[in-house]
Structure 1
């Protein structure tokens, strides 16, 4: 999403640089569908508790706030990842170059600290394959650097649903070579429904060290704690229509919910070898512990239990080389190459859920996943107005299970499996004029099963090592226009996936998955931003056709017909945002969001109806010397629309629907230097 300059009728767009294509260049010159969303909670009316709000205006993306902090937001790109029952699936997430997605492809958007984030880059389509194990796209989050002069900001906010929030950040230079940056965030809420209360805490500490004129090092320590996240579970269609505010009685019986703690240390180093060459190195390690109570007991001898206990250690390293073209080159070349290793080691146990307390042991195993990847890409200007691009990545992902819970009813499920893929990408960029670029790309994608998806074998016990990775072919063409205060973008995309991984059943928290050939996704993305007088406008529209081209019978023996729409994908997604700035210190905004219906299951027997919502916000800044105080207020879902914000795909008991919040109010104050 392109940034608009200061309010004036003659405004021009500031150049926005991204690195999502693994080389730094302007958004306008990037030969792919990529957007940058700038984040600044200190000077905006954005709430800042989830990526759902700032990313909802990116074409091609569907970001749904489930109002269930136990399951995270639903995020999908071009229809990839829509099947995820929790977390982020089908898209890679990296924060300051460090993966927030694990080697098996499962990611957690909830760990992103928006108090420290400066911007998010969203890369969609074939070139996302350069990051490996991602079907639809990549999210790159970049944190703020230490400022040249000391700064400090504090936000306090409160509102409906007993919502309270604190965000704080500050930074300073110890000396010209060393800068420090810190950010903290915390919020709590009683939730939309009974038994949906949540509390979260974030802390980021970063040091930026310029060791010499050519070398820089960034060290980051961050923590995420979720001591409470109750799960109200889904509702049936009849329950949702009768009372969308109700909670599944099983949620109270089994005290469903999740607690999480995650801590991570990361180091990034960069060395400019020459004026054209840059070498980068990344290394990180972290630990994540999780306890989750599911909505069933798990007392059966063949069950893995209704309580999940996870202790995960993860670590990785990567090295990359980038070269920028030189004006004296006969054929200007831009290239990058690198290699990465990622690993996770899970100690996973399962216990009987004894009506909300931990019972007998039902699962005890070690899960290891390791990913090896190497990539390279090259761009060459064969003419002053034509650039050809080529890239490739080789990925090797290995899974290993060591089963320590072996009984007559639960045989030894130990084993291993590995997946590999060579993913080439080809593209072309034509600079038709100074204000118009046209591009086209084609490539192959690769998406492995996650440990969650191989955990259970359909129709039996044990690990589903027979589940295959999804392999897809991607094509896109698009155009970007940038003139004065107007930016337009459009892209047509098409993908066909064989062995796509789809949920077959989800009984009592025990989800099983299978492979299906011929899953097709295609559509249109449109985006526009402009400024007229003192009003900034932005528009995003996505037309998505996502369907099965081949019929199949799911694990419950039900026929899924060819032509059925993929569940949790909307045919139409639209967002219009307008911000009026009558002065430098005052803003009044409105956001209109609309989506067409989404099916809840593969057989397309039930669907959440389409909806639209309108939100309003306003803020005013007061300045006294270097100190500024900003007051803001916002109302979301102004017309109090009742709708299902998301669906639990293929839930076996037909409890598909997760109600969204009604009309809510939030007010706050930001004090900063």
Structure 2
């Protein structure tokens, strides 16, 4: 691909539609803050950034998984495993696909509080979509200023508080005993307190055998202006997900013959997970002047996990149990703080210099144990350790209007991540068992991410930007935990570094269309990849050089007062140096939507047709097999009514309307050949909401 592709694509895509509306909705140019850590329109932001609105969240599904709405964002792939024990598989520009559970290579932030641990591993399951107002997705070099990540940043913001006391009750139902119930309260008091409370419970028996799940969530935010210049917010959230069954992956033969089946090991060892997480955080903003803003954050949390795996471990001869498999259990405490100062210096002719700098410190400490899995029951202790990881980062970003048509952006972030483990499971060998040595140790990683960008304001309706930067991604504690041979931290594993180059353009067409395009080139050294993956336990290694070449296109148009189209396209060539594809990475993905909401419609009627395409997914580094590409057709319709202070809404969805059989995701390098995780066949959803403003 060549950067000239953008020049050719702009007029062609701009002519896709002929608009007749008089004005465009806010969806064409939402306000974002992620790219430069200041409020600005998405059009003016000098980076590839996309905002998902509350409207899209309401219409996307039962509001359980981020995959319901992120599929409309170019450059990001959110694969729903239909396995709530393993969370979603989220990747941006090919970073994050190696993840066997959780999210890696992508930074997650919720209301200014990190949802990614200091080692770079995050969880998407604690995001409450029911109270989310918007989701911002930042890709490319500018994302490197957020620290230990490579692909990008996903930031979720709770919706604005209601101006009057408003209570909402919601319910959703679908096949396989899917049920969700929610209760939300929001208000702004006379004294200026903004309050949003959101509680929900989701249950499902699962599409596959042994895949039942229950998830309870609570999200609350209080905010207030303490003075004209000081604003404070406090966010509390909780996740309770007990006894979530894990059906594991399937071989190709199992998937093709019966996608609802389950791996034998899942039944033999009752593979399952219980997770509980509680967190509280506060963000304070103080404006020293119209030009200077201070932002500080502080947060604390705890996460407890019990995970029964199907790992073939051998019990010591002296133990009373002789089962196999593994049980992981940990109690984790984490927290952090950050401080940021932004200052704007006005220059002549309307130009300005904007400076932003900050420091961040985050720490995680966990007590981790491993046990024998006796056919589903916890057996003898096999591992006992205390782990600590912490990061100390600092960053500085500057944006200068060198001319009324040109803006120069530069920045750098220093990253320092330290891992320590203390081994408490030390035993002399009893023949024929080997000695179990002291595996205590430590390892550290440090680097600097520089970024440089230039934006050309070619016209009031056209912006073109060129960004270059370097990324740095450390291994997570999970990736350091095991060696292929021996025991102790995998200190041979190195951090990966990447060079990013991005050329992008944003164009507003006739005030009723918006076209964004970005062409990128990424080279990575010491890419961290899965080495072996068996029964839920993975080891990792550094691969040789990899390259990613891609094109992202997003187009939104208000065709008439009630008709709107959305199109996103991602083309990605992600390869190892020898030409093999990076596993788990689709080289094509696309989303297209035609939504109709006639203003004079009875009952607030609105409807849409969605087409979602995901390219083939290679299952391992050797490229010996792949999940085939799939194109899904989704249909939806909604209604809304108002009566005596009440507002009622109904949503009906038919997903995978043509009933395609497909693999929703793959488990990269799975050692037993169980790579495939089936997607859902044709499914329906009915969601109802009743809201009352007092």
The question of whether the paired residues in 2 share the 8 Å contact of 1:305 and 1:363 is answered with no
Would you say 1:530 and 2:557 are equivalent positions?
A: yes
**What is the SS of the residue equivalent to 1:53?**
helix
2:54 counterpart residue number: 39
Structure 2 CA distance, aligned partners of 1:469 and 1:37?
Answer: 32
Equivalent residue in structure 1 for 2:546, among 519, 535, 547: 519
**What is the SS of the residue equivalent to 2:659?**
coil
Residues 1:8 and 1:160: Cα distance change in structure 2 (over 3 Å)? farther
Would you say 1:386 and 2:406 are equivalent positions?
A: yes
Residues 1:305 and 1:370: Cα distance change in structure 2 (over 3 Å)? farther
Structure 2 CA distance, aligned partners of 1:234 and 1:384?
Answer: 56
Structure 1 CA distance, aligned partners of 2:628 and 2:162?
Answer: 47
Would you say 1:10 and 2:36 are equivalent positions?
A: no
What are the equivalent positions in structure 2 for 1:158-557 lying under 5 Å apart? 158-301=173-316, 306-326=326-346, 331-407=351-427, 408=429, 409-483=435-509, 484-533=511-560, 534-549=562-577
Return 623-632 or 371-380, whichever deviates more: 623-632
**What is the SS of the residue equivalent to 2:189?**
strand
Structure 2 CA distance, aligned partners of 1:117 and 1:326?
Answer: 35
Structure 2 CA distance, aligned partners of 1:25 and 1:115?
Answer: 25
Q: Once the two structures are superposed, what CA deviation does each residue of 1:563-588 show, in whole Å capped at 9, x if it has no partner?
A: 10000111110111121112361111
Shift of 1:539: 0.6
Structure 2 CA distance, aligned partners of 1:424 and 1:613?
Answer: 40
Q: Once the two structures are superposed, what CA deviation does each residue of 1:533-587 show, in whole Å capped at 9, x if it has no partner?
A: 22111011100000100xxxxxxxxxxxx11000011111011112111236111
Structure 2 CA distance, aligned partners of 1:504 and 1:103?
Answer: 23
The question of whether the paired residues in 2 share the 8 Å contact of 1:332 and 1:380 is answered with yes
Shift of 1:250: 1.2
Structure 2 CA distance, aligned partners of 1:39 and 1:179?
Answer: 19
Q: Once the two structures are superposed, what CA deviation does each residue of 1:222-273 show, in whole Å capped at 9, x if it has no partner?
A: 1111013111110111111111111112111111111100001101111011
**RMSD between aligned residues:** 1.7
2:593 counterpart residue number: 577
Shift of 1:191: 0.8
**What is the SS of the residue equivalent to 1:461?**
coil
Structure 1 CA distance, aligned partners of 2:307 and 2:415?
Answer: 32
Would you say 1:653 and 2:664 are equivalent positions?
A: no
The question of whether the paired residues in 2 share the 8 Å contact of 1:305 and 1:350 is answered with no
Shift of 1:355: 0.3
Structure 1 unaligned runs (5+)?
1-6, 550-561
Residues 1:573 and 1:664: Cα distance change in structure 2 (over 3 Å)? same
Equivalent residue in structure 1 for 2:34, among 14, 20, 43: 20
Would you say 1:614 and 2:633 are equivalent positions?
A: yes
Structure 1 CA distance, aligned partners of 2:325 and 2:264?
Answer: 19
Would you say 1:568 and 2:584 are equivalent positions?
A: yes
**What is the SS of the residue equivalent to 2:468?**
strand
2:3 counterpart residue number: none
Structure 1 CA distance, aligned partners of 2:239 and 2:155?
Answer: 19
Structure 2 CA distance, aligned partners of 1:595 and 1:330?
Answer: 45
Structure 2 CA distance, aligned partners of 1:202 and 1:39?
Answer: 19
Residues 1:670 and 1:122: Cα distance change in structure 2 (over 3 Å)? same
The question of whether the paired residues in 1 share the 8 Å contact of 2:285 and 2:296 is answered with yes
The question of whether the paired residues in 1 share the 8 Å contact of 2:351 and 2:404 is answered with no
Structure 1 CA distance, aligned partners of 2:204 and 2:50?
Answer: 31
Structure 1 CA distance, aligned partners of 2:162 and 2:595?
Answer: 28
Shift of 1:17: 1.3
Return 406-415 or 633-642, whichever deviates more: 406-415
Structure 1 CA distance, aligned partners of 2:576 and 2:396?
Answer: 33
Shift of 1:178: 1.6
**What is the SS of the residue equivalent to 1:149?**
coil
Structure 2 CA distance, aligned partners of 1:11 and 1:188?
Answer: 42
Shift of 1:193: 0.4
Structure 2 CA distance, aligned partners of 1:325 and 1:579?
Answer: 43
**What is the SS of the residue equivalent to 1:67?**
coil
Structure 2 CA distance, aligned partners of 1:507 and 1:72?
Answer: 18
Return 283-292 or 578-587, whichever deviates more: 578-587
Shift of 1:510: 2.7
2:622 counterpart residue number: 603
The question of whether the paired residues in 2 share the 8 Å contact of 1:118 and 1:142 is answered with yes
**What is the SS of the residue equivalent to 1:488?**
strand
Structure 2 CA distance, aligned partners of 1:642 and 1:571?
Answer: 20
The question of whether the paired residues in 2 share the 8 Å contact of 1:540 and 1:574 is answered with yes
Residues 1:666 and 1:647: Cα distance change in structure 2 (over 3 Å)? same
The question of whether the paired residues in 1 share the 8 Å contact of 2:31 and 2:42 is answered with yes
Equivalent residue in structure 2 for 1:669, among 688, 691, 694: 688
Residues 1:298 and 1:126: Cα distance change in structure 2 (over 3 Å)? same
Shift of 1:324: 3.5
Residues 1:532 and 1:330: Cα distance change in structure 2 (over 3 Å)? closer
The question of whether the paired residues in 2 share the 8 Å contact of 1:45 and 1:633 is answered with no
Structure 2 CA distance, aligned partners of 1:301 and 1:498?
Answer: 41
**What is the SS of the residue equivalent to 2:69?**
helix
**What is the SS of the residue equivalent to 2:43?**
helix
The question of whether the paired residues in 1 share the 8 Å contact of 2:580 and 2:623 is answered with yes
Shift of 1:590: 1.5
2:112 counterpart residue number: 97
Shift of 1:623: 1.1
Structure 2 unaligned runs (5+)?
1-18, 318-322, 430-434
**What is the SS of the residue equivalent to 1:460?**
coil
Equivalent residue in structure 2 for 1:637, among 626, 636, 656: 656
Shift of 1:170: 1.4
The question of whether the paired residues in 2 share the 8 Å contact of 1:82 and 1:567 is answered with yes
Residues 1:45 and 1:571: Cα distance change in structure 2 (over 3 Å)? closer
TM-score (norm 2): 0.92
Structure 1 CA distance, aligned partners of 2:424 and 2:626?
Answer: 42
Structure 2 CA distance, aligned partners of 1:472 and 1:479?
Answer: 23
1:132 counterpart residue number: 147
The question of whether the paired residues in 2 share the 8 Å contact of 1:298 and 1:351 is answered with no
Shift of 1:173: 2.4
In the alignment of these two chains, the number of paired residues is 655
TM-score (norm 1): 0.95
1:559 counterpart residue number: none
Shift of 1:462: 2.2
Residues 1:149 and 1:250: Cα distance change in structure 2 (over 3 Å)? same
